[in-house]
Amino acid sequence: MTDRQRRDEEEEDAIADAIALERAIAAEGPRSFAEGPKDTALQPGSTLHPYAALTPERVLDAIESIGYRCDGRLLTLNSYENRVYLVGLDDGSQCVAKFYRSARWSDGQILEEHRFVDALAAIEIPVVPARVDGDGTSLHRHDDFRFALFDRAGGRAPELESRDTREWLGRFIGRIHALGSAIDYVERPALDASTFGTEPLEWITSHDIVPSPLDEVWAGVVEQALAGVAHCDATAGPSRLIRLHGDCHVGNVLWTEGDGARPGGPHFVDFDDSRMGPALQDLWMLLSGTREEMTRQLADLLEGYRQFNAFDVRELHRLEALRTLRMIHYSAWLARRWDDPAFPAAFPFFGSERYWQDQILALREQIAVMQEAPLRP
């Protein structure tokens, strides 16, 4: 048996063990509090956003309610979808607390993601799973806020200019997808033209988000773009949907330097957007630059990826379609979150005529790009 065959056999055994672990945990039932009311933390009829009630005192009280002792240190981390904090503990260590946005994911959907990341960690893929207490609980509630704790994971952005870095990332994404393809999500939705295209279009148009007279122009361009997405899908043919990271861009990959105790390299954080989708979704956001540069980058990613998982090259017809869907979904995401004070402060450009004019132009460019031949690494 060659070294490559031995490594493949060990990887297959590890994945089989991780799958068995996932199934066993799922069979035990939810690892969270009993179902209760949706997150509100405010009186009915309040015009304040639910996160307005998430004061520093409430954050610390929540963490201490599950047995930890805090030392008062609390730093808000950069996160818009959820509220995330770096919390100091009495023993001098730190943990990360994520307080989930109300009504975005159900308990079952959050726990599915937790189980997936647990299984990835079990086969030594560098991810950050939610901490589990003595009762096997990873999702907690305090004052109607749902939250989870994680180990602190530091690091810098990966140097994507390096071929070795790209191949390294490709190997780990291939391993994530090898496990991700073994079991489907039951609770979490898929990333497709409906969830990231048609549904956001309908929501924006029904809520009069785009100012007149740009509203009809934007909607018409989106419909043309979705026709282009449909053409790309038809050209690519049926693809296997697998469990993904879902938001695998450079900001969600942290790189650490090795030392005597721990190996260096990438680790993947924030699986909050994990869902079913095509494998290419976790690769294309790592590409940038000219067509020639992206072709070379993709070749390096796939060189590493294929060492652990097969890749269907027909998916490449979907690359620009996936970019187009992300653009449409992004506008709807901002619009839906506008009642959260953090969003107007962070995205002051959103909603202006200039914003929608730029979106119309960008989507028209995407319509043209989707008609071009796909990248051929």
Point out the residues that are catalytic.
247, 270
Nearest residue to 305 via CA among 248, 370, 235, 233 = 248
User: Which tokens sit at 196?
Assistant: 């990231």
Contact 287, 320 (CB under 8 A): no
CB 286 within 8 A of CB 160: yes
Q: Cα separation of 200 and 17, whole Å?
A: 39
User: SS in 3 state form for 181-219?
Assistant: CCCCCCCCCECCHHHHHHHHHHHHHHCCCCCCCHHHHHH
State CA 59 to chain mean position distance: 24
Q: Helix or strand or coil: residue 274? A: coil
Please tell me the chain's helix, strand, coil percentages from 3-state DSSP, rounded to the nearest 5: 45, 15, 40
Q: Are 138 and 148 in contact (CB under 8 A)?
A: yes
Quote the CA–CA distance of 200 and 105 in Å, as a whole number: 17
Q: Answer for the pair 252, 269: CB distance below 8 angstroms, yes or no.
A: yes
Would you say 87 and 74 are in contact if contact means Cβ atoms under 8 Å apart?
Answer: yes
Angle at alpha carbon of residue 363, lines to 169 and 280, rounded to 5°: 25
Residues in contact with 113: Cβ distance below 8 Å, sequence separation at least 6, in sequence order: 105, 188, 271, 272, 274
- Cα(238)–Cα(56) distance, integer angstroms: 49
**150, 284 contact by CB (below 8 A):** no
